[in-house]
């Protein structure tokens, strides 16, 4: 371990958007996320004692411990994630005789509560940095699974793997088609010729977000068990035929049937988006770009309707913003993004749309109705978790 004494690492771990495929990551689907240029920065530097000190610079909080204290630490909030990553990576076992400690300073440009997966970015950045610092040799997919299990075991959120894969595997200007069954990642271009993506933050996060997320997951898992009893050879929702779907709907409750309808419809929309992006990439003469962008926008808006009416994870504030913004000139479509009950809208608009000016009236109406100041964030599709080199 002596070789570790002089190590200094700077890790950048991005948040993510998800163009389409919301809630498909735990429903056997393909999702279309991308890393973005809102991120955590984590700086690792050695300490002379065997102490581990984690500094959350933005909120002026810290967590300090020795490895022998790790399992008995009483933690909450962001500290749960730190504890979880250390335990699940097995730092205590891999460095039992460590004479030097470590200070990790953490800062973030990811808006908390906006649905950009700040917790996944934190876990992935921390796991990636510790893996590099202690030369553990874990693959990116192994780190993604550790970050996911941190959410499950230490935060009580039974999330899928999309957020972690998006943060770790992102590439500039590319979406990922992540197959949540095979865990295969395929990158493809999102050629936004004459268009832009940006986020509109509702600035709300309702308390039932996590409990409702877990309930939706339980509903679909229970429905799949029933489906497998009906159709023993059924391996995943993608293999459900129209005939099988009809039989299943007749014996599950109406609420669960609505959830399933959203999932199956969203799977179809994901396939359509992949095809549209392929056409955009091939359309070097821009002959059909405008229509393709309109079609993409329409699919985004259809997803919002499905999340609102069938999956029931939207909220009044998001619905108000989505309705107002999609009625504006040069906006192709918009949808809520993330687990639900607050957070951001993802908006696809033409380059001619000027958010600062063109959203002003909508934001004023939003404030009048909800007494909340909304805000927009320009975004770029960025690199996944990586080391920053300093001169």
- Burial (CB count <10 Å: 0-12, 13-18, 19+), residue 233: exposed
Which pLDDT does position 289 carry in this prediction? 82
Which pLDDT does position 282 carry in this prediction? 65
Write out the two tokens for 256: 């669960």
Q: Residue for token digits 């993330």?
A: 338
Which pLDDT does position 244 carry in this prediction? 95
Catalytic residue among 163, 233, 253, 283: 163
Q: With bands split at pLDDT 50, 70 and 90, how would you rate the model's confidence at 391? A: low
- Is residue 358 flagged as an active site residue? no
Mean pLDDT of 201-205: 91
Which pLDDT does position 283 carry in this prediction? 59
- What is the pLDDT of the chain when averaged over all its residues? 91
Smallest CA-to-CA distance from 386 within 143, 209, 146 is with 143
More confident residue, 287 or 304: 304
Of 23-27, 225-229, 313-317, give the lowest mean pLDDT range.
Answer: 23-27
pLDDT tens digits, one per residue of 85-94 = 999 999 888 7
Q: With bands split at pLDDT 50, 70 and 90, how would you rate the model's confidence at 230? A: very high
Q: Does the pLDDT value for residue 4 go beyond 60?
A: no
Q: With bands split at pLDDT 50, 70 and 90, how would you rate the model's confidence at 97? A: low
Q: State how far the Cα of 304 lies from the Cα of 31, in Å rounded to an integer.
A: 15
pLDDT tens digits, one per residue of 113-149 = 777 888 999 999 999 999 999 999 999 999 999 999 9
Which pLDDT does position 1 carry in this prediction? 40
Cβ atoms of 385 and 128 closer than 8 Å: yes
| Angle, CA 375 vertex, CA 373 and CA 377 arms, to 5° | 170
Q: For 311-344, what is the HEC assignment?
A: CCCCCHHHHHHHHHHHCCCCEEEEEECCCCCEEE
pTM of the model as a whole:
0.89
Mean pLDDT of 287-297: 86
Which pLDDT does position 2 carry in this prediction? 42
Q: Does the pLDDT value for residue 285 go beyond 60?
A: no
Cβ atoms of 214 and 316 closer than 8 Å: no
Q: Write the DSSP string, 194-263.
A: TEEEEEEEEEEE-TTHHHHHHHHHHHHHHHHHHHHHH-TT--SGGG--HHHHHHHHTTS-HHHHHHHHHH
Q: At what angle do helices 242-249 and 254-282 cross, to 10 degrees?
A: 150
Percent of the chain with pLDDT over 90: 74
pLDDT tens digits, one per residue of 65-86 = 988 888 898 999 999 999 999 9
């Amino acid at each position: 371990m002596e070789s570790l004494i002089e190590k200094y690492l700077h890790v950048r771990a991005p948040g993510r958007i998800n163009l389409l495929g919301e809630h498909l990551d735990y429903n056997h689907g393909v999702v279309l996320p991308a890393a973005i240029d809102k991120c955590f920065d984590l700086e690792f530097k050695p300490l002379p004692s065997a102490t581990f000190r984690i500094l959350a610079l933005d909120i002026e909080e810290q967590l300090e411990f020795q490895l022998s204290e790790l399992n008995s630490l009483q933690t909450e909030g962001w500290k749960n994630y730190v504890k979880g990553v250390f335990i699940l990576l097995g730092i205590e076992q891999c460095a039992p005789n460590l004479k030097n400690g470590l200070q990790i300073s953490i800062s973030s440009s990811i808006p908390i509560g906006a649905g950009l997966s700040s917790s996944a970015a934190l876990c992935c950045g921390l796991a990636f940095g510790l893996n590099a610092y202690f030369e553990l040799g874990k693959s990116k997919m192994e780190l993604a699974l550790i970050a996911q299990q941190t959410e499950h075991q230490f935060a009580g959120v039974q999330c899928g793997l999309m957020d972690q894969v998006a943060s770790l595997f992102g590439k500039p200007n590319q979406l990922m088609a992540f197959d949540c069954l095979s865990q295969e990642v395929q990158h493809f271009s999102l050629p936004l010729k004459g268009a832009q993506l940006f986020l509109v933050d509702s600035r709300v996060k309702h308390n039932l977000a996590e409990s409702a997320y877990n309930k939706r997951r339980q509903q679909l898992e229970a429905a799949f068990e029933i489906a497998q009893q009906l159709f023993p050879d059924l391996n995943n929702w993608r293999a459900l035929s129209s005939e099988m779907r009809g039989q299943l709907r007749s014996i599950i409750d109406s609420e669960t049937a609505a959830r399933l309808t959203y999932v199956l419809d969203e799977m179809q929309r994901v396939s359509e988006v992949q095809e549209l992006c392929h056409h955009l990439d091939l359309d070097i003469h821009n002959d059909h770009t405008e229509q393709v962008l309109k079609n993409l926008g329409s699919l985004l808006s259809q997803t919002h309707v499905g999340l609102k009416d069938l999956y029931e994870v939207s909220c009044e504030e998001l619905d108000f913003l989505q309705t107002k913004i999609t009625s504006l000139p040069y906006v192709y479509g918009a949808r809520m993004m993330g687990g639900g009950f607050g957070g951001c809208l993802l908006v696809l608009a033409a380059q001619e749309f000027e958010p600062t000016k063109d959203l002003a009236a909508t934001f004023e109406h939003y404030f009048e109705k909800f007494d909340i100041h909304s805000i927009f964030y320009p975004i770029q599709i960025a690199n996944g978790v990586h080391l920053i080199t300093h001169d």
